[in-house]
Structure 1
Amino acid sequence: MKLKPILLTILGVTLIVGVLAGIKALQIGTLIKQGKAVQIPPEVVTTTQVESQSWESLVTATGTLEAVQGVTVAAELTGKITDIAFEPGVLIKAGDLLVQQDIAAETAQLRSAEAAVALARVTFERTRKMLATKTVAEANYDNAEAQLKQALAQADIIRATIDKKTIRAPFSGRLGIRQVNIGQIIQENTPIVSLQALDPIFVNFLVPQQQLRQMQVGYTVRITSDALPNGWSVSGTITAVNPEVETSNRNIRVQATVTNPEDRLRPGMFVNVAVIQPEPEPVLAIPSTAVLYAPYSDSVFIVEEDTTPAHQVVRHQFVRLGEQRGDFVAVVSGLDPRQTVVSTGVFKLRNGQAVVIDNSLAPEFKLNPQPKDG
């Protein structure tokens, strides 16, 4: 008789738990149906087509600039500086006076030597006339001729000394920093000032031996440097290719001559060199903003037609990328020409998501963008 209340209690608890479980299951089922009924609104995107483009085929390297002509002007003889005729950093022409050393003694010696030349010439002319009339011996004539030549040579030696102490620019170019002062007694080989011819200018660079056939005299080169304004480059041509390969690294030394507007490039600078090949390189290109970059693999979203005419869907596609130029990047594999890919906002998409295309919002993509300073 005592078991009956216990059984009734267990039965009542079981019934209550079953009712609650049924209610909860009904609620969960309702939520699942509602979730399936809810659709994520399509994302507004911009698109572009995969383009077949012809890019310049380039061989790139790092180069060093060298003056076409460059020298540190130095003294040839010992002497005191009496005049400095240049300003540091200016452009000068070949033959312009740079430094004058003291030539007072040489000038006096030259006057004496010129007087000796004049006397020797008069003696020689008189002896020559007398020889014609047989009034002097031929030996006297030879002696007079030798004395005239000696006097002329002595005068030329003094003039050469004066010229060496009158230091002039050997070629046109830009001067550097002055290294001497007026009144200073300078010795032989004392540096005076650097002189560099800067326009045009040489660029020397190395390429691996397997690229020898891509280095031909006359090929165009393009030089960029952080010394040039944003977007600027200078161009030139290959003028020399070393006939031998360097055994230490199996590289070939190449030299190009490039223009140097406003002397912006200076000897000793390093620059980026791009040798333009005569045949362009065909590539498939897409905007770099269309790529979803990831450590494991890069990918894009391809736009495909949906059964719903109001919008399309996107498909996630892995790709292998090549070189990047300007706003574009080359696609080595994973895409075909004329396919449509999402060009902006790829980070907010997922595979199979519906999209609405609005290309009025699309930015302009350029192969050679020119950034504006500001």
Structure 2
Amino acid sequence: MLRRLLIAIVVLVVIVGGIVGYNFFVAKMIGQYFANMTPPPVAVSVVEATPVTWKPGIEAIGTARAAQGVSLASETSGIVKEILFNANDKVETGQRLVQIDDAVEAADLAAAQAELELAQTQLERQRTLRERGVTAINDLDVAQASASSAQAQVLKLTAVMNQKSIEAPFGGVIGIAQIDVGQFVSAGTVLATLQDLDNMRVDFSLPEQQIPMVRIGMPVSATSEVGDLQIRGKIIAIEPKIDPNSRLVTVRAQLDDPGAGLNPGQFIRVWVELPEEQGVMALPQTVVTSNLYGDSVFVVRTQGEGDQAKQTVEQVFVKTGRRSGQLVEIADGIAAGDEVVSAGQNRLTSGAAVKIDNTVNPLPAAAN
């Protein structure tokens, strides 16, 4: 009985040992297989780090304005007699636009002119009598004062008559009439707007820190999101006072030949062009990966020569600087000639094998 028990125990130990040994052998072989298995190279596209001519600038948001633009208003009250324009008409300087009823003023002016003629006649008579010595000098002075007073009254009524006629102060495009014929208007009532669309400007604001970088005469590029309009210009004025609330400074630029696609009040994106800089290291912005540890790029490193050459990537932390369009300045971390991964970074880790394939490059323009 004891013998059978010992045999059973021995058999059980052999079986369990075999199972454990087999499992250990399988695990070891699988570990060796995966340890010796090399993952296939990751296909990536690259750009070569090359010093470029950097075109720095300042981006801002502005508002389009006409070089001359006013809201035409009446200087006096009265009934609108005539409206002598249609909306969007192009008018000339001095062109009559609105006529307010001036019948009363015309009658007063006629009476004043008659009094002026009488006063001038009496003045001439007093001068003749004075030359003959048959009148006192005081009578001549009274006649002279009466004639001057009558002349002033005529000038006053003539000015009042002119206020009844609203004329264009400059050439431009007239807007929609805000009044109707027969309507009573008081002094200050807006009649229509007048804008000189042939000469356009753009006003924009910059932080006080950027003001030392701009100068009068610097070129600017103004872009409108309506119709993809892009116009060149130059800075013509910088407000000398900084807004104490916003710490912003207003800058004005004159636009060259705005054409027919720009209207006062329109939203404008402004790019102030700063002087060019030579030999600046710049890369497409998409090559830079940002995380809690900083900004980094993947640089391709080649090991070996000929058929034995192997390409891997190294994650390099960089110091970024200014941005311009699709490019970002690399102030430190990259040397000229380095091949930087521009597509496929999300599948990479430092030391991973790669295969360069630039047939599909999402940033050909930025790479150049």
Whether 1:306 aligns to 2:282 is no
Residue 325 of structure 1 corresponds to 324
Out of 133-142 and 197-206, give the one that drifted further: 133-142
Which one is further off, 136-145 or 69-78?
136-145
Please report how far the alpha carbon of residue 342 of structure 1 lies from its aligned counterpart in structure 2 after TM superposition.
Answer: 1.7
2:233 corresponds in structure 1 to: 235
Deviation at 1:294, TM superposition (A): 4.0
1:315 Cα deviation after fit: 1.8
Deviates more, 1:279-288 or 1:129-138: 129-138
Residue ranges of structure 2 left out of the alignment (5+ in a row)? none
CA, structure 1 residues 248+344, in 2 after alignment: closer, same or farther (shift >3 Å)? closer
Alignment of 1:25-104 (within 5 A): 25-64=24-63, 67-104=66-103
In the TM superposition, residue 12 of structure 1 has moved relative to its aligned partner by: 0.6
Question: Kindly tell me: are residues 118 and 200 of structure 1, through their superposed partners in 2, closer, same or farther at Cα, counting changes over 3 Å?
Answer: same
Q: Deviations 1:43-62 (Å, cap 9, x if unpaired)?
A: 33322111222323334444
Aligned residues: 363
Q: Give the SS at the match of 1:258.
A: strand
Aligned pair in 2 of structure 1 residues 142, 333: CA closer, same or farther (>3 Å)?
Answer: same
Q: Which amino acid aligns with 1:236?
A: K
The change in CA–CA distance for 1:233 and 1:20 in structure 2 (over 3 A counts) is farther
- Cα gap change, 1:223/1:362 in structure 2, threshold over 3 Å: closer, same or farther? same
| Secondary structure at 1:232 match in 2 | strand
Question: 1:203 Cα deviation (Å)?
Answer: 0.8
Tell me the residue number matched to 1:172: 171
Q: How far did 1:300 drift? A: 2.0
1:257 aligns with 2:253: yes
Which residues in structure 2 correspond to 1:166-315 (within 5 Å)? 166-198=165-197, 199-208=199-208, 210-226=209-225, 228-230=226-228, 232=230, 234-242=232-240, 244-248=241-245, 251=247, 253-259=249-255, 260-262=258-260, 264-267=262-265, 271-278=268-275, 280=277, 283-294=280-291, 296-307=293-304, 309-310=306-307, 311-315=310-314
Residue 16 of structure 1 aligns to a residue in which SS?
helix
What is the aligned partner in structure 1 of residue 8 from structure 2? Answer: 9
Instruction: Specify the code of the residue in structure 1 equivalent to 2:233.
Output: S
- The alpha-carbon distance between structure 1 residues 105 and 174, as it changes in their structure 2 partners (threshold 3 A), is same
The amino acid across from 2:8 in the alignment is T
Higher mean alpha-carbon deviation, 255-264 vs 43-52, is at 255-264
Task: Describe the superposition over 1:190-243 as per-residue Cα deviations: whole angstroms up to 9, x where unpaired.
Answer: 2222334453225142432x44432433333444454x444735432142331x
1:304 is aligned with what amino acid?
R
Normalised to the residue count of structure 2, the TM-score between the two structures is: 0.83
Task: Work out whether residues 88 and 177 of structure 1, in 8 Å CA contact, stay in contact via their aligned partners in 2.
Answer: yes
1:306/1:351 CA distance change after superposition, 3 Å: same
The separation in 2 between residues aligned to 1:368 and 1:150, in whole angstroms, is 83
Deviation at 1:303, TM superposition (A): 1.0
Q: Contact 1:217/1:241 (CA < 8 Å) preserved in 2?
A: no
Is 1:203–1:258's contact at 8 Å kept on the other side of the alignment?
no
Give yes or no for contact 1:66–1:204 (8 Å, CA) kept in 2. no
Return closer, same or farther for 1:252/1:326 CA change in 2, 3 Å cut-off. closer
Q: Does structure 2 retain, via aligned residues, the 8 Å contact 1:221–1:238?
A: no
Superimposed CA distance per residue, residues 14-43 of structure 1 (whole angstroms, 9 cap, x where no aligned partner): 112222333333333333343344332323
Q: Within 5 A, what are the aligned runs for 1:85-164?
A: 85-125=84-124, 128=127, 131-132=130-131, 138-139=137-138, 141-164=140-163
Contact 2:55 2:276 in 1 (8 A): yes
Q: Which residue of 2 aligns with 1:372?
A: none
Contact 1:68 1:202 in 2 (8 A): no
- 1:100 Cα deviation from its structure 2 partner: 0.7
**C-alpha displacement of 1:183:** 0.5
- Range moving further from structure 2, 283-292 or 118-127: 118-127
One-letter amino acid of the structure 2 residue matched with residue 298 of structure 1 = D
Code of the residue aligned with 2:101 in structure 1: it is D
For 2:52, the aligned partner's letter is: Q
> 1:23 is matched with which residue?
22
Q: 1:296 to 1:350 in 2, by over 3 A?
A: same
- Counterpart code for 1:205: S
Q: Describe the shift of the 1:303–1:203 C-alpha distance in structure 2 as closer, same or farther (beyond 3 A).
A: same
Q: Indicate the SS of the match to 1:150.
A: helix
RMSD of equivalent CA atoms: 3.3
- 8 Å Cα contact 1:89-1:177 kept in structure 2: yes
SS at match of 2:112: helix
Residue 136 and residue 103 in structure 1: after superposition, are their counterparts in 2 closer, same or farther (change >3 A)? same
Shift of 1:187: 1.5
Letter in 2 for 1:53: V
